[in-house]
Amino acid sequence: MKKTSTRLADGRELIYYDLRDDAVRDAVDRRPLDRTVTTSEVRHDVLLGDSVAIASHRQGRTYHPPADQCPLCPSEGDRLSEIPDSSYDAVVFENRFPSLAGDSGRCEVVCFTSDHNASFADLTEEQARLVLDAWTDRTSELSSLPSVEQVFCFENRGAEIGVTLGHPHGQIYAYPFTTPRTALMLRSLAAHKDATGGENLFDAVVESELADERVVLESEHWVAFVPYAAHWPYEVHLYPKRRVPDLLALDEDARTEFPKVYLELLRRFDRIFDEGNGGEGSAGEPPTPYIAAWHQAPFGQLEDFEGVVREDFALHLELFTIRRTSGKLKFLAGSESGMSVFINDVPPERAAERLREVAST
CA gap 74, 111 in Å, rounded: 10
Where b means 16+ CB within 10 Å and e means fewer, 216-245 reads: bbeeebbbbbbbeebbbbbbbbbbbeebbb
Residue 90's beta-bridge partner residues? 17
User: What sign results for the dihedral spanned by CA atoms 268, 150, 55, 93?
Assistant: negative
Number of Cβ within a 10 Å radius of residue 29: 20
CA gap 309, 227 in Å, rounded: 24
How far is CA 312 from its chain centroid? 21
User: What sign results for the dihedral spanned by CA atoms 16, 267, 156, 294?
Assistant: negative
Which three-class secondary structure state does DSSP give residue 261?
Answer: helix
Which three-class secondary structure state does DSSP give residue 333?
Answer: coil
How many degrees, rounded to 5, is the angle at CA 102 between CA 101 and CA 106?
45
Amino acid at 152: F
User: What sign results for the dihedral spanned by CA atoms 55, 56, 58, 63?
Assistant: positive
Burial of 332 (0-12, 13-18, 19+ CB in 10 A): middle
**DSSP per-residue string spanning 168-209:** SEEEEEEESS--HHHHHHHHHHHHHHHHTTS--HHHHHHHHH
Secondary structure letter of residue 338 according to DSSP: I
Residue 54's beta-bridge partner residues? 41
Residue 75 to residues 11, 31, 32, 228, Cα–Cα distance (Å): 18, 11, 14, 46
Residues annotated as part of the active site: 169
